[in-house]
Amino acid sequence: MKVNFKDILWMPVDIPKFDRCQELIDDFNVDFNGSIKNSDYDVRGQLFLKKSENHSIAKPKDGLTSSQLAVMEYCKKHLPFTDLINFKIHHIENRGMKMHYDFSPKNNNFSPPPELWNHVLDHEPMGFRMVVHGAKSGDIGIETSNGEVVIPVMPEDTDWYSISHSGTLHGTPPHVVNLEDRYVLFVNGWVNTEQHKELINRSLDKYSDFIVKK
Residues that bind Fe ion (CB under 5 A): 102
> Are 134 and 183 contacting, i.e. CB atoms less than 8 angstroms apart?
yes
The CB-of-33 to Fe ion minimum distance in angstroms stands at 16
> Under a CB-based contact definition with an 8 Å cutoff, are residues 93 and 42 in contact?
yes
Identity of the residue, 88 or 206, whose beta carbon is nearer to Fe ion in the bound complex: 88
Least spacing, CB of residue 194 vs Fe ion, in Å: 27
Q: How far is the CB of 113 from Fe ion (least distance, A)?
A: 21
Return d(Cα 136, Cα 125) in angstroms, integer: 19
User: Environment class of residue 53 by beta-carbon count within 10 Å: exposed (0-12), middle (13-18) or buried (19+)?
Assistant: exposed
Strand, helix or coil for residue 133: strand
Minimum CB distance to Fe ion smaller for 102 or for 159: 102
Min dist CB 63 to Fe ion, Å, is 27
In total, the chain counts a number of residues equal to: 214
Residue whose CB is less far from Fe ion, 41 or 117 = 41
CB contact at 8 A, 128 and 199: no
Taken in order 30, 31, 37, 38, is the CA torsion positive or negative? Answer: negative
Least Å distance, CB 131 to Fe ion, is 13
Q: 67 vs 176, which CB is nearer to Fe ion? A: 176
CB nearer Fe ion, residue 79 or residue 97: 97
What single letter denotes the amino acid at residue 89? I
